Chains A and B, each alone.
Chain A
């Protein structure tokens, strides 16, 4: 089954404790992206990657890092999480110039 998976689905952590949210897709898509969803703000793009070893900032990259060492994986790293990063996070992928993206099920992160 074609899908984007994220882990964990739910995470409660404390300020300053480094964490990684994993994202994996099995569709051989070149493009992958991370979004956060906050009430009243819709989905905002954090980082995206056009291919292996090619990443770039979205609209809200501060406080986040990403890496793309393999085509299928695109982890989101929070080196020192803060409460304002409490949010619902989505990973997405798409094939090349096709604009429609496939989204993962989401990771709800709470930073205390």
Chain B
């Protein structure tokens, strides 16, 4: 069974600094990991993903790192901007083909000016 944990419910970071959000999972059988971002009163939007054959994927200010031996994902945002204030969810497939996607509890990121 797949379990996904984001152990930090909230994180506060100064504008311009690095934000690091963490995610741990239990079942490493599957090949794709995702991060979603959610603003209040909106649905989650896809942010960035990483394939299990990589240990890093970068998209502009956002970088996701995958440590398969530790079953750990992290999302780095550099530099952090006020518009990055949102709830971030990591998501991991529960099965091949990702018919079921298991989400973490979310981390509320606040960027302070």
Interface residues of A (CB under 8 A from B): 4, 31, 33, 35, 40-45, 48, 50, 56, 58-59, 90, 92, 97, 99-106
A-B contact pairs, 13 of them (CB 8 A): A42-B4, A42-B89, A42-B106, A43-B44, A44-B103, A45-B100, A59-B100, A92-B43, A97-B97, A99-B32, A100-B49, A103-B44, A105-B41
State A43–B45 Cα separation when bound (angstroms): 13
Interface residues of B (CB under 8 A from A): 4, 6, 9, 32, 34, 36, 41-46, 49, 89, 91, 93, 97-106
User: How far is the CB of B6 from the nearest CB of chain A, in Å?
Assistant: 8
Is the Cβ of B100 less than 8 Å from the Cβ of A43? no
Given contacts A42-B89, A42-B103, A59-B102, 9 further A-B contacts (CB under 8 A): A31-B99, A40-B105, A42-B4, A90-B43, A99-B101, A100-B34, A101-B46, A103-B43, A106-B43
State A105–B6 Cα separation when bound (angstroms): 23
